[in-house]
Structure 1
Amino acid sequence: MRTLEAIAQRRSIKHFQPNQAMPEQDVQQLLNAAQQAPTSFNIQHGRIIRVTDPALRIKLQEAAWGQAQVTEASELWALCADVDAWKKAPQRYWQTVDADKQQFIVNMLTDFYSGKEQLQRDEAIRSCGIIGQTVMLAAKDLGYDSCPMIGFDADAVADLIQLPEDHVVGMLIAIGTASESAWPRGGFIPQDEVVFENTF
């Protein structure tokens, strides 16, 4: 499938064919796609919790106010990020370049993030969003449907997945085969309300 086709066809699906396991090779392709998503300074702070325990899925469904896709979908992923990844051995993010370039980038990213807690959190959430869209488009290419979710009690989800203190939950993503079509698109506001040239 062409990328533009995947973008046009991707919809947020609320009901999936239950009890349908995704082949491990497809799961691995989606995980590989997730790791290709760009991150600032290549800090790769996205973390994916694959929820495979049915009992945990039921508890997460309660935290997501009973939404069916949490338990019906073949795959349920919690997309999280390590907010402090920028300072955790950052040289490893540039292990394939020479020492001078590596140190230059490490110094730059340290200066960029140090002391800026809001920026650190914003970057974590941005990365979750980029990973999420990458995964959803890859899923569509493989013939699967998906649903990004922010409709849940974030504290309850964090507790259930035992989220470390220095991490944040960005979203949940349900992936599988639709059992019901998405509602018709709600429509787009005029492009001239969205796109501006140079300034507002």
Structure 2
Amino acid sequence: MNVIDAAYQRRAIKHFDPDHEISSDEERKLLEATIQSPTSFNIQHWRFVILRDPQLRSKIRTEWGNDQAQMTDASLLVLFTADMKAWEKEPHRYWRNAPQEVADLLVNWMGPFHEGREWLQRDEAQRSIGMAMQTLMLVAKGMGYESCPMIGFDIQKVSELIKLPKDHVMGPMVAIGRGTKDAWPKPGQLSLDEICFENGFI
């Protein structure tokens, strides 16, 4: 499936085959494609928590997840988080394959760009999470799988459950698997005339 077809056909599927398993090779392929997503300064600050334990997934679903069936029935459940302080943690490793002068330039920019701007660190983390999520869902569709992004869970409780570090931010979950029921027809997309503006808002 080409990427344009995947973009049009990707839907948030709520019903998954609970008996289907994604192989370890397929899972690795999905995640390796996901980390091709862009990040500011190439800091790659996403951190993916693979929620694999059935009891853990069931607890999240029944106690803090509004009983969303895809949390337990999907073959793969990925919780997206990001390290907001990744920019100051051995930043040279993000540019280890670049020419030295390029690496030095960008690493030296990284600190002044982020320091003292906690709002920007959080915004950058969430932007990166969003891009990685979309990559994961499009690749999954291209591999013949369905997906569902989810925010309907108690962020604080799940943060405690997974022991989210204090310098990390929580993002949504994405369920991946074999769908068993088609999504509803698309409810309607706004026209480009409504959402695209030439050179600014008039």
Q: How far apart are 1:106 and its partner, in Å? A: 0.8
What whole-Å deviation, never above 9, does each CA across 1:143-168 have from its counterpart, x for those lacking one?
Answer: 00000111111111111111111111
Secondary structure of the structure 2 residue equivalent to 1:180: coil
In the superposition, the TM-score normalised over structure 1's length comes to: 0.97
1:53 maps onto 2:46 in alignment: no
Match of residue 131 from structure 1: 132
RMSD: 0.9
Match of residue 31 from structure 1: 31
Q: How many residues align?
A: 200
1:141 maps onto 2:157 in alignment: no
Correspondences of 1:24-173 after superposition (within 5 Å): 24-61=24-61, 62-173=63-174
Give the percent of matched residue pairs that are identical in Structure 1 and Structure 2: 49
List runs of 5+ in structure 1 lacking aligned partners: none
Question: Take 1:73 and 1:97, find their aligned partners in 2: how far apart are those partners?
Answer: 39
Question: Take 2:160 and 2:34, find their aligned partners in 1: how far apart are those partners?
Answer: 24
Question: Take 2:197 and 2:99, find their aligned partners in 1: how far apart are those partners?
Answer: 41
Question: Take 2:64 and 2:108, find their aligned partners in 1: how far apart are those partners?
Answer: 41
List runs of 5+ in structure 2 lacking aligned partners: none
Bigger shift: residues 75-84 or 184-193:
184-193
Counterpart code for 1:75: L
Match of residue 194 from structure 1: 195
Question: Take 1:37 and 1:49, find their aligned partners in 2: how far apart are those partners?
Answer: 17
Match of residue 15 from structure 1: 15
Q: How far apart are 1:73 and its partner, in Å? A: 0.2
Counterpart code for 1:37: S
Bigger shift: residues 16-25 or 117-126:
16-25
